[in-house]
Amino acid sequence: MNSQISKLVEAAQKARNVAVITGAGMSRESGIPTFRGPDGLWKNFRPEELATPEAFQKDPALVWEWYEWRRQIVLKAEPHEGHRVIAAMEKFFPEFLLITQNVDGLHPRAGNRKLIEIHGSINRARCTKCATRFELGSRVLSELPLRCDCGALARPDVVWFGESYDSNLLSASLDFLGSADLVWVVGSSGMVSVPVYLAAQARENGALLVDLNPEEAEFSRYCDIKIRGTAGQVLSEFWKALQ
Ligand code: APR
């Protein structure tokens, strides 16, 4: 067992309140592209044209087409061993919370329930007028832009660039991280500040920070345990070693 994994196992054996913060790298081994990186989504598309309120205002059909294209990829993807390990962690530790930036729904499909989808879900829409939220199911959306039963435009129920986070989700995350003793950041570049801020708060409160990523990320320097590897492989190795 490599020394980093044994450090992880040792920390996990002592931990009671464990949080995991995941980013797009968590879903890479399920075949879903990340955002930034050699084959990232932002390499082929401009976020300003697709993931902002202004883009939606300008061309709701284009924004819906892009989200529906991503959603069909996501619906064909399967959670991998790493997702299943994080679902098992929820049952293993006395207190556990998963905070994900991912909108792909793979964590709830793997079984996590103590879960905050801090950027929303690509599988849900909400009305721009009456704010009704509705699950999109597995059907292919052919009539785009999608409309609510009230007739108004519906939008993907996700957080776009320039939009604020749901304050209830943020405070629930901060509440838990205030007493966490082990916090993993898995598969995030840290290019979006909130998850980094959440991890930094946890560290302020004495949590041990784990950075699981094949590459150095923005916040790697603040982490206590740095594991250069992929989410699926490392989580699976860790879990076997912990049993
Ligand atoms: N296992 C773990 N990490 C991986 C893997 C893997 N198999 N493959 C890539 N990574 C890492 C990359 O090294 C990178 O650091 O995943 C990270 C992905 O970074 P981003 O593409 O920036 O994704 P993320 O950090 O989730 O972006 C945050 O930005 O565009 C917005 O809303 C979007 O939620 C997203 C947010």
Amino acid 100: pLDDT:
98
Query: 36: CA distance to ligand 1 center in Å?
Result: 7
Amino acid 156: pLDDT:
98
Amino acid at 145: P
pLDDT in tens, the chain (243 residues): 688 899 999 999 999 999 999 999 999 999 999 999 888 999 989 998 999 999 999 999 999 999 999 999 999 999 999 999 999 999 999 999 999 999 999 999 999 999 999 999 999 999 999 999 999 999 899 999 999 999 999 999 999 999 999 999 999 999 999 999 999 999 999 998 888 899 999 999 999 999 999 999 988 999 999 999 999 999 999 999 998
CB burial class (10 A; 0-12, 13-18, 19+) of residue 83?
buried
Residue to mutate, 189, 218, 226, ligand 1, most ligand atoms under 8 Å from C-beta? 189
What is the C-alpha to C-alpha distance for residues 126 and 122, in angstroms, rounded to an integer? Answer: 11
Cβ–ligand 1 distance for 100 under 6 Å, the answer no
**What domains are there in the chain, each with its CATH number?**
1-31+79-119+164-243 (3.40.50.1220), 33-76+124-158 (3.30.1600.10)
